Amino acid sequence: MTLLDIIIIGIVEGLTEYMPISSTAHIIFTLNLLGVPEDSFIKILIVSIQLGAILAVVVLYRNKFFDFSRITFYSKLIVAVIPALILGSLFHPTIEAVINKPVYIAIVLIIGGVVLLFVDRYFNHPTTFKEEDISYRQAFFIGFWQCVAMMPGVSRSAASIIGGMQQKLSRTLAAEFSFFLAVPTMCAATGFSLFIKNWDNGGSTQKGYEIIMSTPDNIKIFLVGSLVSFIVAILAIKLFIGLIQEYGFKPWGWYRIVAGFILLLVFSLTDISQG
């Protein structure tokens, strides 16, 4: 992987992590289009590059994350992340198997786009407009909705936002709570990838952080990708909030459908040519 490759990947991660269009799908497709060969380091990078995007939310919403007097804020996030921790540990092998199938992910991208076309119509009677008014019950069910995104291509952001709106949160509040929930969720996923999971690295078994630290190039790629995703994510979060307030989720639905069909065509033709 070249420096230009990781800059492109960092931009893709930062732009797509908090938008309802599936960052994982976009990164996998981008890696395929760039011709980057898949190995354990690349699989780790797909997850760990989220660190930059995580930091972007913490920086933008630092008044909430570092106001330790608001214990209910943290407790609601803990309640909401519990379903993902349990189901993620149970279905991790299945999830990894699907990540290697870009055609299937393109199909999921299209299906998710169709769903987004109708979200604003069906969940248009919110009763919760402030973060402090979110109940623990609402937080827990939003966490279950987020688990739908374990299927690559669904989008963690889309699933948790739809879950928030189904739980009567306003469109803007659902998006913001999705951002908050991303921090413990992605920290858990990244921590598992870096410090718990054993990876096959050329015949030897290593932790993710050991593979990243194994060469200067790996360290540079990891740091550059995280930095780029951090900068781009800050801009993307601000842009996304403004756009959903103005236009809702229908534009994202059409984007997913068009992108999904284009990518489905590209990878189907690739499979035919290789066959």
Task: List average pLDDT for each run of 10 residues in the chain, which is 275 residues long.
Answer: 94 94 88 87 90 92 88 94 88 66 86 93 93 96 92 89 95 93 91 92 90 95 96 92 89 94 81 57
In the prediction, which pLDDT does 250 show? 92
In the prediction, which pLDDT does 223 show? 95
Q: How far is 154 from 243, CA to CA, in rounded Å?
A: 20
In the prediction, which pLDDT does 60 show? 93
Query: What are 146's two structure tokens?
Result: 């987020």
In the prediction, which pLDDT does 20 show? 93
Matching residue, tokens 């509040």: 173
The 10 Å Cβ neighbour count of residue 2 is 11
In the prediction, which pLDDT does 98 show? 61
In the prediction, which pLDDT does 99 show? 62
CA distances (Å), origin 206, targets 28, 193, 203: 23, 11, 10
Q: How far is 82 from 51, CA to CA, in rounded Å?
A: 20
Q: How far is 15 from 190, CA to CA, in rounded Å?
A: 19
Q: What is the DSSP letter of 199?
A: E
Sign of the torsion formed by the C-alpha atoms of 235, 237, 241 and 246: positive
In the prediction, which pLDDT does 91 show? 74
Number of domains in the chain: 1
CA distances (Å), origin 140, targets 81, 113, 186: 8, 25, 17
What residue numbers bound the domain in which 246 lies? 3-274
Taking each helix axis from N to C end, the angle separating 250-274 and 102-122, rounded to the nearest 10 degrees, works out to: 170
Query: What are 191's two structure tokens?
Result: 């921590």
pTM (2 d.p.): 0.89
